[in-house]
Amino acid sequence: MAVINPPTYVQDGSHSAISDRLSLAALTMPSGSALSARGGVRPSLNGTGLSVVARTTPTAGVTVKAGVVAVPDAFGGIYTCHLTTDFPLTIGPASATQNRVDLVVARVYDSEAGDSGIGRWTPEVIQGTPSSGAGVPPVLPARCWPLAQVSVLAS
């Protein structure tokens, strides 16, 4: 990584998003390790922060409860993502003969990292590949934090 100038919060400076993420990461470093932000779900007062709950109506799926998550970026910084209300997600239909494992994640889309569109984050389902065994979770994409695994059994 190159030198990032100006340093964060210098008077009369114009600061990049990566500079802000690295500054936040400095506050969340485990054991003082340089450039290694700790990602994860922030504990909530009621204990349900970003927990994933199964639902059957109106359609089969899950609900991600309100909460806050820190998602690490590729440079050692973090994205801080806030969900203020419960968020419903649909789980794709099951295979007739094979099981699969889906991941429920907090996913950040950042144009600076090559994603199209404006910067945003969203809870989403990453569908696994059906298999004859118990199923294997899909590979976690960059700028994602796993919230839950969902076993989708053959119908």
pLDDT tens per residue across span 86-136: 999 999 998 999 999 999 999 989 888 888 877 889 999 999 999 988 888
CA atoms within 13 A on the CB side of 135: 21
What is the pTM assigned to this prediction?
0.80
Contact at 8 Å (CB) between 39 and 107?
no
Q: Which two tokens stand for residue 72?
A: 């690490």
Kind plus residue range of the DSSP H or E element containing 23: helix 17-26
State the pLDDT confidence band at 43, using cuts at 50, 70 and 90: confident
- CA-based nearest residue to 46, from 71, 27, 18, 65: 65
pLDDT of residue 7: 58
Q: Is the pLDDT of residue 32 over 90?
A: no
Q: Which two tokens stand for residue 154?
A: 């053959």
pLDDT of residue 4: 62
Distance CA 149, CA 10 (A): 43
Q: Is the pLDDT of residue 3 over 60?
A: no
The residue that leads in pLDDT, 56 or 61, is 61
